[in-house]
């Protein structure tokens, strides 16, 4: 197991404070099938509206999904939109006691018009912003810093600054926050605004700009695709000018470049090619994931690998959707080569099951020896898979097959059987077990549906009472008559004689 996977297996909840620009993202969904008669512009026939916390509020939700306890620090207007934003964050267990209402400015709202045409996927057509970019008054800044001091006194493992240049993260406030964190020994990670002067972030622990933002801040406009040496030069300039511990320069499909003060040499952290659906929220997810990883004492390279995986999953979905820890863990299992086809250890299967359940999927379990695959096996597995969303197959290991079936069995080894079974689209994962029954797997995986062949009665199904005790069910599926491994072996023997 790699160091990253070992750390993820020991992941613990953490406490985070998020200071920055809080906003509400509104999505107006509708049909965009025709043009206006009075201008060559599409008409959006709005069907429904969906509101999401955005900006720094999205970082809070990302951290919650990664098992953080989060305190929000920022400004809203003294308006209905601000109240809706607070209510939404409260519902997600974010502590909103640090959100200060400022009657002199509106709550920032990003209103996205999203159209659907000719039954295709939704497409963002236009965005309307309601906001103020005026810097906070000194009185409001003082109120916000006092709220920050109270939150810091309660304890924090990490502080995030998410700056969208809306006037909240003023140089004075950033300086006071960073100084307070340095005095308390709490790391500060900054996702900077797209501005020319980063001096207000000086003394933070780390900064996570994308390359375009970093070019603007350093004056090193490169035009086109930069070389690794040019990226390293930009990162080093930020590291030295701002007195940082690390710089994480995000490079889209090229992953990220990490430069640590203690190491001296930059490290390229690659990502994998993806079908990019919507980049919205990827930067927020990157910041949250790296912060969560550092709060769990992951080394910088592992923290950035974790952040890359989380941000990569974010761009594959439409809109802003926090990516839960279990999904990121499962993604890294796959990336690091720990998943061999569909064969899983029980621990790996538990990670996958947790990720699936976070997505509302129903888990099905069945088991057997499956020594020589035949049409009866395939029929049973297809029927089992139809009982839910993801089928886990408990597979007897070689020693347990021998105990159950006698000498000369299995004909095929565990690895061979797993490879053949894994080629079936209906099988989601295969977990071997050494015992005579799969009860240990059933107790651990807690499937929603337990499947056996109709040659069993419900009271004969191992694990049946347990599954029914927590609201699961037993499904008995029809078998193909005359099809079995024993009969197949006997038929081969008869033909040889």
CB 129 within 8 A of CB 24: no
Pair of tokens at residue 465: 């009472």
Given pLDDT bands bounded at 50, 70 and 90, which one contains residue 77?
very high
Q: What per-residue confidence (pLDDT) applies to 312?
A: 87
Given pLDDT bands bounded at 50, 70 and 90, which one contains residue 326?
confident
Whether the per-residue pLDDT at 277 is higher than 60: the answer is: no
Which active-site residues does the annotation give? 284
Strands 95-102 and 390-396: unpaired
Q: What domains are there in the chain, each with its CATH number?
A: 3-335 (3.40.1190.20), 346-496 (3.40.50.620)
Q: Write out pLDDT tens, residues 173-223.
A: 999 999 999 999 999 999 999 999 999 999 999 999 999 999 999 998 766
More confident residue, 204 or 125: 204
Sheet containing strand 108-116, strands side by side? 42-55, 22-35, 108-116, 123-130
Q: What per-residue confidence (pLDDT) applies to 355?
A: 78
Report how far residue 83's alpha carbon sits from residue 91's, in angstroms, rounded to the nearest whole number: 12
- Up-side HSE of residue 490: CA atoms within 13 Å toward CB? 6
Q: Is 402 exposed, middle or buried (0-12, 13-18, 19+ CB in 10 A)?
A: middle
């Amino acid at each position: 197991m790699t160091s990253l996977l070992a750390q993820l297996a020991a992941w613990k909840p953490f406490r985070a404070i998020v200071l920055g620009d809080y906003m509400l993202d509104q999505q107006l969904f509708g049909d965009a099938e025709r043009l206006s008669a009075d201008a060559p512009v599409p008409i959006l026939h709005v069907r429904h509206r969906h509101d999401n916390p955005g900006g720094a509020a999205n970082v809070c939700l990302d951290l919650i999904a990664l098992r953080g306890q989060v305190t929000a620090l920022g400004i809203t207007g003294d308006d209905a939109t601000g109240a809706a934003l607070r209510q939404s964050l409260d519902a997600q267990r974010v502590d909103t006691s640090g959100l200060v209402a400022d009657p002199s400015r509106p709550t920032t709202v990003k209103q996205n018009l999203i159209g659907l045409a000719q039954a295709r996927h939704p497409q963002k057509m236009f965005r309307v912003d309601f906001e103020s970019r005026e810097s906070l008054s000194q009185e409001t800044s003082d109120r916000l810093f006092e709220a920050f001091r109270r939150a810091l006194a309660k304890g924090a493992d990490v502080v995030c600054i998410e700056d969208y240049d809306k006037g909240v993260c003023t140089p004075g406030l950033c300086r006071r926050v960073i100084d307070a964190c340095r005095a308390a020994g709490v790391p500060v990670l900054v996702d900077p605004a797209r501005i020319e002067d980063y001096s207000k972030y000086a003394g933070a622990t780390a900064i996570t700009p994308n390359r375009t933002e970093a070019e603007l801040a350093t004056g090193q406009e490169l035009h086109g695709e930069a070389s690794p040496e040019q990226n390293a030069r930009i990162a080093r300039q930020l590291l030295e000018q701002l007195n940082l511990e690390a710089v994480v320069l995000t490079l889209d499909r090229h992953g990220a470049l990490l430069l640590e003060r203690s190491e001296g040499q930059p490290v390229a952290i690659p990502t994998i090619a993806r079908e990019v659906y919507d980049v919205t929220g990827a930067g927020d997810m990157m910041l949250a994931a790296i912060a969560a990883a550092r709060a769990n004492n992951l080394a910088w390279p592992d923290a950035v690998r974790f952040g890359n995986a989380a941000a990569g999953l974010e761009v594959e979905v439409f809109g802003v959707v926090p990516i839960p820890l279990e999904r990121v863990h499962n993604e890294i299992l796959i990336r690091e080569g720990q998943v061999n086809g569909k064969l899983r250890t029980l621990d790996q299967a538990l990670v996958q099951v947790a990720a699936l359940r976070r997505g509302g999927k129903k888990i099905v379990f069945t088991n057997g020896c499956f020594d020589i695959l035949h049409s009866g096996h395939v029929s049973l597995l297809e029927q089992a898979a139809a009982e839910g969303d993801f089928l886990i197959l408990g597979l007897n290991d070689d020693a347990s097959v021998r105990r159950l079936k006698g000498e000369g069995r299995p004909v095929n080894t565990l690895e061979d059987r797993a490879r053949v079974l894994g080629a079936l689209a209906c099988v989601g994962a295969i977990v071997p077990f050494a015992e005579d029954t799969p009860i240990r797997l059933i107790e651990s995986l807690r499937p929603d549906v337990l499947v056996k062949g109709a040659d069993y009665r419900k009271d004969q199904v191992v694990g049946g009472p347990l599954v029914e005790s927590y609201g699961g069910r037993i499904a008995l599926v029809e078998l193909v008559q005359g099809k079995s491994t024993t009969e197949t072996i006997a038929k081969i023997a008869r033909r040889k004689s």
